[in-house]
């Protein structure tokens, strides 16, 4: 970096909408040569979408991009790769059954093939080997099956691929995008990855998304902070701390009314609705807690801390090889058939992935709402009554203010927030006694969020015990009677959160990181 540096890539006013909802808006972004840039933000802040716009996977609805000074409008990821931008995906865009060099050159073999179409394997292997050596990755054998290599090694292969393709397309200085590269690897591998990135930065620029704030601080030259789809700050890596980063990411004037804290119940002597003792297994260790009737217990922690696993274990999401007991209304839930038993005992689960776990998109609103309580809408004969189902649906459409064309509209056409309301209605119809929610307001617009909070308050008043697992800190603090913070599978911290004395985000975050 010398003189007045010009950015190698810029985005101005980048915007993207999905289904009419704006995911990112007005994004201004620069990437300079030999630089490591970080994009920080909460879940849903738009980081991944922005990265995909840079990589040509999403086309911006507005704004412009420039690469090396020229206008840049890739129509596909392949075009972006040809221009020098590669992405290392979270789910890894590698085919496990193919060998390493095949994966690197997939779709490019045309240039290594003789007229008959047989590819020159030796040339491909040689090129791959040369690059691996240059990058200090000698231990990777281009001729081995990609699937044989561990996850973190495959990450390195993807990075190497970016360099190989850059050379092939005569790009001096590629840009490599990393989408949560550390999410699934251990400490040691993270060290190796970071060392490699630092070494490679003399030949490329990197843009990084991660969930661990410490990593931004440690690795990045510059950090952009996104919040609610907008770029709210740009910081030099050396000048910021994790704490301040977090504050910028998340800090918003918490509106007391937003979470209706005044409605928070003071529970005196309320009976215990659900009791968990010594839950272990699947990265979770010795988790114990109780939730009383009418109480909202919030569980928070960083991604991967185990809070979601706890929720899933309780509702019997999958056969969870767990020790420990879970008691609902005094009776323990069995290990096999836990899901069914939980529902029978009056537990409901609002999952994180509503499209695949919460609703059946091709069924109508009323069919989805009645899914867990079919006997309720059936006549004596055992057949479902369309009219009863419709009445049930209309009742909850009104109560939850579900915005839809009517009970017979297919759920796939509803917005995320309304779909979530349908999921909640499904359990309300059953008059559940315990409701477990996993990030219920993820991807939900602000108005619908508040409506959902109102419903939760209503339920609490009716005596329902609520377990709220969430990444959203203000929500965690604002809604809960009590808060558990988990870290690496264990409960690190428990505190009360009475309406008049809520803990600050600072206090909680320090136990999370």
Partner 1 sequence: MSNTWYEPQTTGSRSGVEVKVQIAQFYNRHRPIINAIGPFLLLMAMVAVFALINPRFLSWINLFNLMRQSSILLIVSTGITFVILMGALDLSVGAIVTLVAISSAVLIRDFDVGAVGIAVAAAGIGALCGLANAALVLRLRLPSFVATLGTMTILGGVSTWISGGGNVFFQSPNLTWIASGSVIGRIPNSGVLALLIFVVASFVGARSHFGRALFAIGGGGLTARLSGIDVLRTKAVAFVVSGMLCGVAGLLLVARTSTGTSRIGDDLLLQAIAAVVMGGTALSGGSGGVHRTLTGVLVIAVLQNGLNIAGVHTYLQIMVTGFIVVLSVTITLDRSRLAFIK
Partner 2 sequence: MLEVSLVGRRDSELWRRAITIFVFTIAIISFGVAAPSFFTIANIRAIELSSSVLLIASIGATFVILMGSIDLSIGAVASFCGMLVARLAPDLGLWSVPIACLVGLVFGAINGLVYVYLRIPSILVTLGAATTISGAVLFISDGRSLSVSNAAVIDMAQGALANMVPNAVLVSTVIYGVAILVGDRTRFGRMTLAIGSDEQVAALIGVKVNTIKIQAFALSGLLAGIAGVLLAARLGSATVTMGSYMTLDTITAVVVGGTAITGGFGNVRLTIIGVLFITILSDGMNILALPPYLQTIVQGTVILLAVLLNTNRASAEDVK
118 makes contact, choosing from partner 1, partner 2, none, with CB < 5 to 8 Å by partner type, with partner 2
What residues contact 375, with CB distance under 8 A and at least 6 apart? none
How would you write 8-34 as a 3-class SS string?
Answer: CEEEEEEEEEECCEEEEEEEEEEECCC
349 makes contact, choosing from partner 1, partner 2, none, with CB < 5 to 8 Å by partner type, with partner 1
Report the residue from 51, 119, 279, 479 that binds partner 2 according to the rule CB under 8 A: 119
Q: What are phi and psi of 254, to 5 degrees?
A: -75, 120
Whichever of 106 and 118 has its CB closer to partner 1, that residue is 106
Structure tokens at 28: 């201004």
107 makes contact, choosing from partner 1, partner 2, none, with CB < 5 to 8 Å by partner type, with partner 2
Instruction: Annotate each residue in 423-442 with x if it binds partner 1 (CB under 8 A) or - if it does not, as one string.
Output: ---x----------------
Shortest reach from residue 384's CB to partner 1, in Å: 5
Whichever of 81 and 392 has its CB closer to partner 2, that residue is 81
What string of DSSP letters covers 331-351? EEPPSTTHHHHHHHTTEEEE-
* Interaction between residue 383 and partner 1 (CB under 8 A): yes
Q: Name the pairing type of β-strands 347-350 and 331-332.
A: unpaired
Instruction: Annotate each residue in 32-61 with x if it binds partner 2 (CB under 8 A) or - if it does not, as one string.
Output: -------------------------x----
Whichever of 266 and 336 has its CB closer to partner 2, that residue is 336
Candidates 300, 350, 247, 304; CA nearest to 477 is: 300
Site residues for partner 1, 40-79, by CB under 8 A, read 59, 73, 75
What residues contact 422, with CB distance under 8 A and at least 6 apart? 358, 359, 365, 368, 369, 402, 411, 414
Instruction: Annotate each residue in 74-113 with x if it binds partner 1 (CB under 8 A) or - if it does not, as one string.
Output: -x--------------------------------------
Distance CA 40, CA 44 (A): 11
Site residues for partner 2, 75-104, by CB under 8 A, read 76-78, 81, 92-98, 102
What residues contact 82, with CB distance under 8 A and at least 6 apart? 169
* Interaction between residue 160 and partner 2 (CB under 8 A): no
Distances in Å between the Cα of 423 and the Cα atoms of 150, 264, 342, 441 are 38, 23, 17, 12
Distance CA 466, CA 295 (A): 6
Q: Select the span of 183-191, 212-220, 378-386, 466-474 touching partner 1 (CB under 8 A).
A: 378-386
Phi-psi sector, 168: left (phi>0), alpha (psi -120 to 50), beta: alpha
Q: Name the pairing type of β-strands 482-487 and 296-300.
A: parallel
Site residues for partner 2, 470-499, by CB under 8 A, read none
* Residues found near partner 2 in the complex (CB under 8 A): 57, 76-78, 81, 92-98, 102, 106-110, 113, 117-119, 121, 147-148, 150-151
- Kindly list the residues in this chain that would bind partner 1 in the complex (CB under 8 A): 19, 59, 73, 75, 315, 317, 339-340, 343-344, 349, 351, 356-363, 367, 371-372, 374-375, 378, 382-384, 386, 412, 426
């Amino acid at each position: 970096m010398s003189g007045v540096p010009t950015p190698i890539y810029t985005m101005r006013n980048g915007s993207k909408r999905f289904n009419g909802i704006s995911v990112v808006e007005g994004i201004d972004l620069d990437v300079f040569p030999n630089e490591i840039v970080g994009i920080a933000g909460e879940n849903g802040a738009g980081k991944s979408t922005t990265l995909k716009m840079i990589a040509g996977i999403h086309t911006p609805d507005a704004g412009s991009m420039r690469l090396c000074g020229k206008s840049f409008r890739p129509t596909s990821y392949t075009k972006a790769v040809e221009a020098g931008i590669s992405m290392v995906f979270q789910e890894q865009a590698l085919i496990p059954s193919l060998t390493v060099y095949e994966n690197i050159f997939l779709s490019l073999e045309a240039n290594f093939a003789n007229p008959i179409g047989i590819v020159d394997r030796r040339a491909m292997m040689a090129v791959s080997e040369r690059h691996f050596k240059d990058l200090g990755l000698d231990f990777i054998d281009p001729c081995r099956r990609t699937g044989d290599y561990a996850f973190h090694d495959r990450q390195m292969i993807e990075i190497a691929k970016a360099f190989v393709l850059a050379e092939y397309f005569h790009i001096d200085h590629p840009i490599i995008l990393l989408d949560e590269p550390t999410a699934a690897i251990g400490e040691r591998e993270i060290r190796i990855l970071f060392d490699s990135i630092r070494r490679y930065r003399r030949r490329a620029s990197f843009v990084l998304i991660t969930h661990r704030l410490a990593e931004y601080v440690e690795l990045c030259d510059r950090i952009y902070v996104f919040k609610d789809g907008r770029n709210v700050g740009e910081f030099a890596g050396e000048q910021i701390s994790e704490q301040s980063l977090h504050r910028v990411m998340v800090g918003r004037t918490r509106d007391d009314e937003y979470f209706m804290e005044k409605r928070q119940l003071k529970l005196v002597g309320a009976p215990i609705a659900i009791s968990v003792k010594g839950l272990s297994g699947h990265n979770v260790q010795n988790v114990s807690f109780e939730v009383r009737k009418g109480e909202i217990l919030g569980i928070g922690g960083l991604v991967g801390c185990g809070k979601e696993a706890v929720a899933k274990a309780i509702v019997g999401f999958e056969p969870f090889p767990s020790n420990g007991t879970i008691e609902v209304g005094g009776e323990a839930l069995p290990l096999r058939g836990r899901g069914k038993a939980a529902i029978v005992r009056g537990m409901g689960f609002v999952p994180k992935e509503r499209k695949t776990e919460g609703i059946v998109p091709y069924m109508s609103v009323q069919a989805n709402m009645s899914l867990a309580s079919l006997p309720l809408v059936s006549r004596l004969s055992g057949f479902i009554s369309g009219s009863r189902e419709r009445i049930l649906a209309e009742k909850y459409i009104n109560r939850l203010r579900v915005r839809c064309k009517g009970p017979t509209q297919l759920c796939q056409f509803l917005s995320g927030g309304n779909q979530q309301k349908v999921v909640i209605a499904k359990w309300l119809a059953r008059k559940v006694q315990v409701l477990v929610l996993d990030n219920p307001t993820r991807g939900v617009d602000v108005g619908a969020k508040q409506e959902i909070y109102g419903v939760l308050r209503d339920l609490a008043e009716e005596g329902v015990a609520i377990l709220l697992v969430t990444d959203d800190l203000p929500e965690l603090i604002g809604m809960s009677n009590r808060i558990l913070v988990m870290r690496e599978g264990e409960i690190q911290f428990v505190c009360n959160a009475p309406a008049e004395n809520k803990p600050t985000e600072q206090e909680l975050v320090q136990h999370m990181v």
